[in-house]
């Protein structure tokens, strides 16, 4: 149960945010008179903040769908890997499901998130994989003994896996409930590069290497042969490339029109069932011409449908190619940003200047850097190994700087920090974890800054103008001026262990400024001075059209060069 002190702090937080929202609306008339637009992005999805749920490892809301006896000689439930010092990981199913997400939708919403990215929902094989070398605690790049709990081993792209729904909670019912009752959009994780593991099994296993259509008719079967041994005259082999790609996963042949139609139509179906956006797995393993055809078909029926891909690459020039219109205009997860954030927020003595290189606010390779999804860790890499203060600092940056923030389940309490995939990165979070998290300082600070972003359009879509990123201090503006609204947000970040004084005169606009978390106001003439707490954040908001020739000129340059 929450303490009265915490409830009081949340109420105090909400009050100034409501004032800010009303203040923004009161400036609509003057904003409409503006002759110049200053905006980072027109993308509607930029208003969202995303909480990433690995469904099986979140919360078991319905034990009746756990399938504890599934798999026979190759069981699929609760397959523990034991490590040193009593540490464990797991490669079996652990019970999380749609009901667990719905049961905790208020928890996600109340943290300030507006969208839930869930792992793939499609059917996966019903036995543990017997091929490859057996996976061990801390092992990498092996699939032996693992199951499809993660959802990425599809055998039928049209069917939901039996582990996720409940009697009265289909995928469609879940998305409707999240949207209508909690205001949460659903981001569906999808795969076009591969199916399930398909070869090296001692004996061919059911569903492995097989692909079925909507009526459960077999359309492809790898038949447990090596890729180079596939027969191009065999109709069941024509869904696959004859070269390996990732581990023993089947390598879908995106050049085959049947494969393209199968995948595109399947994912159109899931949009009809309530998916609001797609996160695309292994996007760089499929050629650009496929994604162009894919996005054209999707957006012909659903204009503006938002998609972002996983191109696991720290070179911005490489991942930016996916964002170009000629390649499908698909946003990406900002891996260069992830690398920089881990460096800065894991090390207390690091320098904010190390974040500058990934932003690409001007002259960068991306179609639009403001449309990128930003994050510091996920299920495919080691969780960030930072102190509580490091996580707090990371969230203060993530929810105020450019991009669409994404946070992996459990990071709101530093869950399993520093662990990789088979060391605990994907360990079960559960209802107990959620209850613990509610009292955790990381969670409380995250909720505070996420709600500030949710209330201030300038933090969602505004241009970012850096004043200082150096040492333990960061100072930057987010400016949004359109025909509907005009806001300037000044962000002050302090990642040191001591309070710090800030005096900002660069590009300062005279008038009234209000601080979002405290509700404090200042009447500013030439500079704004404030004291920011250790590991603190302040967001000062000024409503009204941009004034000052120097600021207007700098914003015009940012608009031209972004």
Residues 518-562 have pLDDT tens digits of: 999 999 999 999 999 999 999 999 999 999 999 999 999 999 998
The structure tokens listed for 243 are: 């070269």
The answer to whether residue 247 scores a pLDDT higher than 80 is: yes
The structure tokens listed for 375 are: 């994050």
- Give the closest residue to 469 by CA, choosing from 400, 388, 518: 400
What pLDDT sits at residue 21?
A: 47
Q: What is the mean pLDDT of residues 99-112?
A: 98
Asked if residue 412 lies in contact with residue 437, where contact means CB atoms within 8 angstroms, the answer is: yes
What pLDDT sits at residue 82?
A: 97
The answer to whether residue 409 scores a pLDDT higher than 50 is: yes
Asked if residue 188 lies in contact with residue 194, where contact means CB atoms within 8 angstroms, the answer is: no
Q: What is the mean pLDDT of residues 306-315?
A: 98
What share of the chain has pLDDT > 90, as a percent?
93
DSSP string for 52-95: EE-GGGT--S-GGG--TTTTTTS--B--EEE-GGG-EEE-SB--
Asked if residue 335 lies in contact with residue 380, where contact means CB atoms within 8 angstroms, the answer is: no
Q: What is the mean pLDDT of residues 67-86?
A: 97
Q: What is the mean pLDDT of residues 380-391?
A: 98
The three-class DSSP label of residue 249 is strand
What distance in Å separates the CA atoms of residue 433 and residue 431, rounded to the nearest whole number? 5
- pLDDT band, very low/low/confident/very high, at 26 (cuts 50, 70, 90): very low
Q: What's 325-347 look like in SS3?
A: HHHCCCEEECHHHHHHHHHHHHC
What pLDDT sits at residue 562?
A: 87
Q: What is the mean pLDDT of residues 190-219?
A: 98
What distance in Å separates the CA atoms of residue 42 and residue 498, rounded to the nearest whole number? 38
Between the CA atoms of 304, 310, 315 and 319, what dihedral angle is there, to the nearest 10 degrees?
-30
Residues 267-295 have pLDDT tens digits of: 999 999 999 999 999 999 999 999 999 99
Asked if residue 183 lies in contact with residue 114, where contact means CB atoms within 8 angstroms, the answer is: yes
What pLDDT sits at residue 359?
A: 98
What share of the chain has pLDDT > 70, as a percent?
94
What pLDDT sits at residue 146?
A: 98
Q: What is the mean pLDDT of residues 496-510?
A: 97
What pLDDT sits at residue 3?
A: 37
Q: What is the mean pLDDT of residues 440-468?
A: 98
The answer to whether residue 8 scores a pLDDT higher than 90 is: no
**The whole model's pTM is what?**
0.95
The answer to whether residue 92 scores a pLDDT higher than 80 is: yes
The three-class DSSP label of residue 119 is coil
Mention every residue, 6+ apart, whose C-beta is less than 8 A from residue 315.
Answer: 336
Q: What is the mean pLDDT of residues 453-472?
A: 98
What pLDDT sits at residue 35?
A: 64
Q: Are strands 404-408 and 88-90 parallel, antiparallel or unpaired?
A: unpaired
Residues 345-373 have pLDDT tens digits of: 999 999 999 999 999 999 999 999 999 99
The answer to whether residue 424 scores a pLDDT higher than 60 is: yes
The answer to whether residue 5 scores a pLDDT higher than 70 is: no
**Torsion 250-251-256-257 (CA) sign:** positive
Asked if residue 362 lies in contact with residue 558, where contact means CB atoms within 8 angstroms, the answer is: yes
What distance in Å separates the CA atoms of residue 144 and residue 189, rounded to the nearest whole number? 23
Residues 113-124 have pLDDT tens digits of: 999 999 999 999
The three-class DSSP label of residue 135 is coil
What pLDDT sits at residue 168?
A: 95
- pLDDT band, very low/low/confident/very high, at 1 (cuts 50, 70, 90): very low
Residues 139-197 have pLDDT tens digits of: 999 999 999 999 999 999 999 999 999 999 999 999 999 999 999 999 999 999 999 99
Burial class (CB in 10 A: 0-12, 13-18, 19+), 168: exposed
């Amino acid at each position: 149960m929450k303490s009265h002190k915490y409830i009081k702090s949340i109420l105090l937080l909400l009050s100034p945010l409501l004032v800010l929202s009303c203040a923004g609306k009161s400036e609509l008339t003057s904003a409409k008179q503006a002759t110049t637009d200053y905006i980072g992005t027109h993308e509607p999805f930029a208003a969202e903040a995303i909480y990433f749920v690995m469904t099986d490892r979140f919360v078991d809301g319905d034990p009746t769908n756990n399938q504890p006896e599934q798999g026979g000689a190759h069981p699929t439930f609760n397959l523990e890997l034991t490590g040193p010092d009593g540490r464990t990981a797991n490669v079996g199913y652990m019970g999380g499901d749609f009901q667990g997400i719905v049961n905790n939708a208020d928890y996600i919403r109340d943290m300030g998130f507006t969208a839930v990215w869930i792992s793939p929902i499609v059917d996966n094989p019903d036995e543990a994989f017997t091929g490859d070398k057996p996976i061990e605690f801390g092992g990498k790049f092996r699939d032996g003994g693992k199951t499809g709990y993660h959802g990425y081993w599809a055998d039928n792209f049209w069917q939901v896996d039996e582990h996720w729904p409940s009697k009265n909670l289909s995928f469609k019912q879940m998305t409707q409930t999240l949207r209508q009752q909690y205001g949460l959009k659903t981001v569906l994780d999808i795969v076009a590069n591969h199916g399930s593991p398909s070869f090296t099994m001692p004996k061919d296993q059911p569903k492995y290497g097989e692909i079925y259509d909507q009526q459960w008719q077999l359309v492809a079967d790898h038949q447990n042969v090596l890729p180079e041994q596939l027969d191009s005259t065999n109709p069941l082999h024509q869904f696959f490339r004859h070269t390996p790609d990732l581990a023993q996963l089947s390598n879908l042949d995106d050049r085959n029109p049947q494969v393209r139609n199968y995948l595109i139509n399947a994912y159109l179906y899931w949009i009809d069932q309530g998916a609001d956006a797609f996160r695309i797995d292994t996007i760089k393993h499929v050629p650009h011409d496929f994604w162009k055809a894919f996005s054209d078909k999707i957006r012909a029926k659903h204009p503006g449908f938002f998609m972002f891909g996983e191109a696991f690459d720290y070179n911005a020039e490489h991942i930016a190619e996916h964002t170009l219109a000629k390649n499908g205009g698909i946003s990406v997860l900002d891996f260069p940003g992830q690398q920089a954030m881990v460096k800065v927020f894991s090390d207390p003595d690091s320098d904010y200047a190390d974040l500058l290189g990934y932003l690409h606010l001007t002259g960068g390779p991306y179609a639009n850097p403001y449309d990128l999804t930003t994050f510091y860790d996920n299920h495919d890499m080691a969780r960030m190994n930072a102190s509580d203060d490091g996580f707090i600092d990371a969230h203060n940056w993530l929810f105020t700087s450019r991009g669409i923030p994404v946070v992996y389940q459990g990071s709101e309490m530093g869950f399993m920090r520093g662990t990789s995939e088979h060391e605990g990165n994907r360990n079960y979070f559960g209802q107990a974890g959620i209850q613990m998290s509610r009292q955790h300082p990381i969670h409380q600070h995250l909720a505070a800054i996420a709600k500030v972003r949710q209330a201030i359009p300038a933090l969602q879509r505004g241009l970012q103008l850096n004043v200082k990123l150096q040492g333990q201090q960061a100072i930057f503006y987010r400016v949004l001026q359109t025909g509907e609204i005009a806001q300037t947000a000044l962000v002050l970040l302090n990642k040191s262990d001591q309070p710090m004084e800030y005096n900002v005169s660069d590009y300062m606009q005279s008038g009234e400024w209000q601080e979002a978390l405290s509700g404090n106001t200042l009447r500013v003439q030439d500079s704004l001075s404030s004291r920011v707490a250790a590991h603190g954040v302040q967001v000062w908001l000024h409503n009204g059209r941009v004034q000052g020739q120097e600021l207007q000129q700098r914003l015009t340059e940012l608009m031209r060069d972004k």
